[in-house]
């Protein structure tokens, strides 16, 4: 997996955030989303990024656009993967019609399709692994921990999405990776169809020490992309910090006030890899705050080496098995 694939584009992060809100019911069916321009303004991103975000949601069937009216959240039933299957079948039908119009026989079409499928399989011999996290931040931590394992293609999911639509894991995955605390729930979701492996994540000793060194009377801030991950950060922060500290919290999704929030603090705790989730404007605000004397601490998590090696071994076996299947054809 390339570095570019490992770092989620901003529009995908925004789409994941909105998806989480839709599946949680925070954005109910029928809810009218802001215009693309307004969304771009609210989130401090480019219009192109906002357009891509809405397109991802539309392709997933989570929103629909009504001409002259705007974009609306669809019902969860309407968002099921069946629509993707229907679009795929329609694309295949169109391709077959085009080939027939070029006077290719059925036999010729079959040969061409088998050739292209073979070429595709030759290029995609990697193991396929589903990454499941309860928040975009947690999922990103898992993904970044595993990117050094060779010959693996990763597909990521939010746990809340799988609770609503477990059939999303019906694709051809070799196994699933999740946090230790979710392994029992994921095993129930997959129902024995594939192995579920856990990756234990713990706060790094350096982060614990940094938090513990924050002096009393410090004005502290904690920021995050999702409420789910923020609650985890708050719990760890309160466990290791002095009790005599004033702490405020901020969500990256809030449209205004970030710079003022940062500059009113002495120290701010941010999620790992947060620059992959936020706009360039907010990233610049973090840099400006640091230059103005605000201490920016990263909430760093480390994976358990034993569970990492176990996953790496499973990925290598799945990769070799996939190659053997292809070589037998």
Q: What pLDDT, in 10s, does the model give residues 47-98?
A: 888 888 888 888 777 888 776 678 888 765 444 444 556 777 778 888 888 8
Reported pTM: 0.61
Q: Match domain 3-79 to its CATH number in 3.40.50.2300, 3.40.50.880, 3.60.40.10, 1.10.10.10.
A: 1.10.10.10
pLDDT score for 327: 64
| pLDDT tens-digit series, residues 232-243 | 999 999 999 987
Q: Do domains 127-200+304-327 and 203-301 have the same CATH topology?
A: yes
Is pLDDT at 6 greater than 50 in this prediction?
A: no
pLDDT score for 119: 72
Fold of 127-200+304-327: Rossmann fold (3.40.50)
Is pLDDT at 229 greater than 90 in this prediction?
A: yes
Segment 90-119 shows an average pLDDT of 85
Is pLDDT at 101 greater than 60 in this prediction?
A: yes
In this structure, of 34-43, 210-219, 222-231, the range with the lowest mean pLDDT score is: 34-43
pLDDT score for 1: 34
**Higher per-residue pLDDT: 147 or 80:** 147
Is pLDDT at 230 greater than 70 in this prediction?
A: yes
In percent, the amount of the chain with pLDDT more than 70 equals 88
Q: Provide the pLDDT confidence category of residue 301 given band limits of 50, 70 and 90.
A: very high
Q: Which of 24-28, 133-137, 266-270 has the highest mean pLDDT?
A: 266-270
In this structure, of 12-16, 101-105, 324-328, the range with the lowest mean pLDDT score is: 324-328
**Higher per-residue pLDDT: 206 or 254:** 206
SS (H, E, C) the chain: CCHHHHCCCHHHHHHHHHHHHHHHCCCCCCCECCCHHHHHHHHCCCHHHHHHHHHHHHHCCCEEEECCCEEEECCCHHHCCHHHHHHHHHHHHHHHHHHHHCCCCHHHHHHHHHHHHHHHHHHCCCEEEEEEECCHHHHHHHHHHHCCCCCEEEEEEEHHHHHHCHHHHHCCCCEEEEEHHHHHHHHHHHCCCCCEEEECEEECHHHHHHHHCCCCCCEEEEEECCHHHHHHHHHHHHHHCCCCCEEEEEECCCCCCHHHHHHCCCEEEECCCHHHCCCHHHHHHHHHHHHCCCEEEECCEEECHHHHHHHHHHHHHHHHHHHHHHHCC
Segment 255-264 shows an average pLDDT of 91
Per-domain residue ranges for the chain? 3-79, 82-123, 127-200+304-327, 203-301
| pLDDT tens-digit series, residues 188-207 | 999 999 999 999 999 999 99
Segment 145-174 shows an average pLDDT of 87
* Mean model confidence pLDDT for the chain: 85
Fold of 203-301: Rossmann fold (3.40.50)
pLDDT score for 325: 67
pLDDT score for 255: 65
């Amino acid at each position: 997996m390339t570095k570019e694939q490992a770092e989620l584009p901003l529009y995908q992060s925004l789409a994941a955030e909105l998806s989480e809100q839709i599946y949680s019911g925070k954005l109910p069916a029928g809810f009218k989303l802001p215009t693309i321009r307004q969304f771009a303004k609210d989130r401090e991103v480019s219009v192109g990024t906002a357009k891509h975000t809405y397109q991802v949601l539309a392709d997933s069937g989570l929103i629909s656009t009504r001409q002259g009216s705007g974009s609306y959240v669809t019902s969860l039933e309407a968002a099921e993967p069946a629509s993707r299957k229907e679009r795929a079948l329609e694309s295949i039908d169109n391709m077959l019609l085009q080939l027939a119009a070029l006077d290719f026989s059925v036999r010729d079409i079959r040969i061409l399709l088998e050739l292209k499928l073979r070429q595709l399989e030759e290029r995609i011999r990697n193991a396929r692994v589903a990454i499941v996290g309860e928040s975009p931040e947690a999922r990103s931590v898992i993904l970044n921990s595993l990117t050094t394992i060779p010959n693996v293609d990763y597909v990521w999911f939010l746990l809340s999405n799988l609770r609503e639509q477990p059939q999303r894991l019906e694709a051809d995955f070799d196994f699933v990776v999740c946090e230790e605390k979710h392994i029992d729930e994921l095993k129930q979701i997959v129902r024995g169809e594939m192995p579920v492996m856990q990756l234990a994540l713990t706060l790094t000793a350096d982060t614990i020490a940094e938090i513990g060194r924050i002096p009393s009377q410090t004005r502290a801030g904690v920021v995050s992309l999702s409420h789910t991950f923020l609650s985890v950060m708050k719990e760890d922060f309160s466990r290791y910090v002095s009790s005599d500290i004033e702490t405020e919290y901020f969500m990256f999704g809030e449209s205004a006030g970030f710079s003022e929030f940062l500059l009113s603090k002495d120290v701010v705790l941010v999620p790992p890899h947060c620059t992959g989730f936020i706009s360039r404007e907010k990233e610049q605000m973090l840099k400006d705050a640091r230059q103005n004397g605000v201490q920016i601490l990263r909430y760093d998590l480390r994976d358990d080496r034993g569970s990492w090696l176990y996953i790496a071994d499973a990925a290598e076996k799945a990769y070799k098995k996939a190659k053997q299947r292809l070589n037998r054809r």
